[in-house]
Amino acid sequence: MTAAAWEWVAALAAVAVAASLPYWLPTVVVALRVRVFALVNGDEGIAVPGERVGVEDFKRLYADPAADGRSRGAALSDLFWYWLAPGPQVHQEHLEPGPRYDDVARTTRSTLARLRRDEWAELVTRCADRELDRLAAAERPGRVREVRLRDAMMPLWAAVYYEVVFGEPCPDEARDLIVANADDVASALKCTSLRHMRRRERLTGYLRAKLASGAAPPRLPAALDAAEQVYYLQGTYFNTAVVQMSEATAHLLLALAARPDLQRRLREEPEDTGLIDRVIDETLRVYPLFGVAHRITSADIALGEAAIPAGSVLLFNYPAFQHSGAPDADAFDPDRWLRDHPGHLNHIPFGIGANRPCPARAVAPLTMRVAARRVLRRYALASAAGHTRSLPNRGPCLLLPLGAGPDASPNTGLDTPRPPALRLARQRLRDRWEDVWRSLVQLVLGTYMVWHARRLRLCTTHFATHLATEEGSR
């Protein structure tokens, strides 16, 4: 071959490699990221399910009374504390069992129980309508617009949880601070962005001033001091609740956006809650919000032939558990809930009843249902973007207005608009290429944050200082 021919071959090969990047690079980068994480973070921990513990023992081990350590003794905790700062030492999820934990957990339970079901529905309806009005006002009536579902849902849940905590409508300033805080936490957790403590501390300052002005929420944990109570509010409601609800609703709407038939069925039977509840169950089964929840064992646990020694770090892998137990467990099929007995499906979206389950497990599905219905009443949804559990793309979705504008009455499936094929094709292509760039960003930022968290050692230092103080006061 001539030199010119070689140049052509090389150029064609380079184009072929470049064009195929979206199909293999993100997977390679994810695998690399896992290895880098293990390298920097140490490969502590017993994977459950895994080599030592099978799927059949997953729930039994999770529910064991000795699987009760939360933060202390696991290097992994330094990373979670880093991501959830400020105030991870009083975050309910990370408190060790004891009187402080009991007080905090009781306060959260009673705060969520303050509203009746109809009051929750009214609150979410009002906040959703207000946010959807804002969205509509930013566009010409009737125009198709593209949103990232997680971003579109965050202001709604910020407004809902502000009102749950303070019993009054959420002012715009607070809403923006809560969204900035929650978005920062969620993006850092997914390694798509670094954490920005100043952004988070602006909300801390706002809450501190609010409590100092006498506008006390009806319930605060008495076992915490004033500074800790601010962190409690920020961590539980304006971080965990807002992030989890925004992610869960984004997953639900994205799953519907890819399935026009399901949207049609839901619109045709707006009063039938059975189908939407099955879609919610299936969404949380296929896309569990938790990747891994960890526990540190406080005593030996006997498990058949195997024994798990005290001080072990157990890594309960939600996706691995929920995607097992049925041959088609990876498939998204809401009607499986009609065929299979729910007790036979591996489904623990809110954790395990015997071991610190989610306090919002009754409220979350109810409020997701209300929010989704308010969206579906105004828009048909369409998306060709990738849908993965960690949702790093934040759920790109086309909103196709039903009727002439925000005041349009609910439509039937017959007038559901057809999504513009060109926009969907463009969205798919853009999402694929964003994946390439994003996975590289996640690799770099994730590695940096794991390293930074190991340097700061927030959890390790906290317990070392506490033990030293306790020793000194004896």
Could you give the angle at which helices 363-378 and 242-257 cross, rounded to 10 degrees? 50
When asked if residue 66 is in the footprint of ligand HEM (CB under 6 A), the reply is: no
When asked if residue 292 is in the footprint of ligand HEM (CB under 6 A), the reply is: no
Nearer to ligand HEM, 158 or 364 (CB): 364
Nearer to ligand HEM, 360 or 459 (CB): 360
Binding segment toward ligand HEM, per CB under 6 A, in 296-304, 329-337, 349-357, 422-430: 349-357
Min CB(389)–ligand HEM separation in Å: 12
When asked if residue 395 is in the footprint of ligand HEM (CB under 6 A), the reply is: no
Torsion, Cα of 249, 184, 234, 223 (10° steps): 110
Residue whose entry in the numeric block shows the structure tokens 């001091």? 225
Binding segment toward ligand HEM, per CB under 6 A, in 23-31, 167-175, 259-267, 288-296: 288-296
When asked if residue 450 is in the footprint of ligand HEM (CB under 6 A), the reply is: no
Would the CA dihedral through 66, 99, 317, 455 be positive or negative? Answer: negative
Nearer to ligand HEM, 59 or 145 (CB): 59
What pairing do the DSSP bridges indicate for beta strands 379-382 and 396-401? antiparallel
Min CB(120)–ligand HEM separation in Å: 11
Q: How far apart are the first and last CA of the chain?
A: 85
DSSP code per residue over 240-305: IIHHHHHHHHHHHHHHHHT-HHHHHHHHH-TT-HHHHHHHHHHHHHHS-S-SEEEEE-SS-EEETT
Min CB(290)–ligand HEM separation in Å: 4
When asked if residue 351 is in the footprint of ligand HEM (CB under 6 A), the reply is: yes
Nearer to ligand HEM, 316 or 398 (CB): 316
When asked if residue 105 is in the footprint of ligand HEM (CB under 6 A), the reply is: yes
Nearer to ligand HEM, 358 or 402 (CB): 358
Nearer to ligand HEM, 147 or 245 (CB): 245
Phi, psi of 412 (to 5 degrees): -95, 170
When asked if residue 359 is in the footprint of ligand HEM (CB under 6 A), the reply is: yes
Nearer to ligand HEM, 248 or 398 (CB): 248
When asked if residue 77 is in the footprint of ligand HEM (CB under 6 A), the reply is: no
Nearer to ligand HEM, 371 or 402 (CB): 371
Nearer to ligand HEM, 37 or 350 (CB): 350
Binding segment toward ligand HEM, per CB under 6 A, in 269-277, 348-356, 380-388, 460-468: 348-356
Nearer to ligand HEM, 29 or 293 (CB): 293
Min CB(11)–ligand HEM separation in Å: 49
Residues in the interface with ligand HEM (CB under 6 A) total 24
* Token pair recorded at residue 99: 């009187």
Distance CA 393, CA 399 (A): 17
Give 262's contacts (C-beta < 8 A, 6+ positions apart).
255, 256, 275, 279, 334
Distance CA 381, CA 398 (A): 6
Options 147, 293, 375, 449; binder of ligand HEM; rule CB under 6 A: 293
Options 123, 257, 364, 400; binder of ligand HEM; rule CB under 6 A: 364
Compute the 3-state secondary structure of the chain and give helix, strand, coil in percent, each to the nearest 5: 60, 10, 30
DSSP-based three-state secondary structure for 364: helix
Torsion, Cα of 332, 333, 337, 340 (10° steps): -100
Query: CA neighbours within 13 Å on the CB side: how many for 11?
Result: 6
Q: Which of residues 216-255 bind ligand HEM (CB under 6 A)?
A: 236-237, 240-241, 244-245, 248
DSSP-based three-state secondary structure for 39: helix
Distances (CA, A) of 69 to 72, 260, 293, 299, 314: 7, 45, 12, 10, 10
When asked if residue 93 is in the footprint of ligand HEM (CB under 6 A), the reply is: yes
* Token pair recorded at residue 121: 């529905």
Q: Evaluate whether 275 touches 266 at the Cβ level (below 8 Å).
A: yes
Min CB(241)–ligand HEM separation in Å: 3
Give 286's contacts (C-beta < 8 A, 6+ positions apart).
255, 322, 323, 330, 332, 389
When asked if residue 58 is in the footprint of ligand HEM (CB under 6 A), the reply is: no
Distance CA 229, CA 347 (A): 33
Nearer to ligand HEM, 262 or 363 (CB): 363
When asked if residue 92 is in the footprint of ligand HEM (CB under 6 A), the reply is: yes
Options 84, 123, 178, 289; binder of ligand HEM; rule CB under 6 A: 289
Binding segment toward ligand HEM, per CB under 6 A, in 259-267, 282-290, 333-341, 430-438: 282-290
Min CB(359)–ligand HEM separation in Å: 5
Q: Which residues bind ligand HEM (CB under 6 A)?
A: 92-93, 105, 108, 236-237, 240-241, 244-245, 248, 284, 289-290, 293, 349-351, 356-360, 364
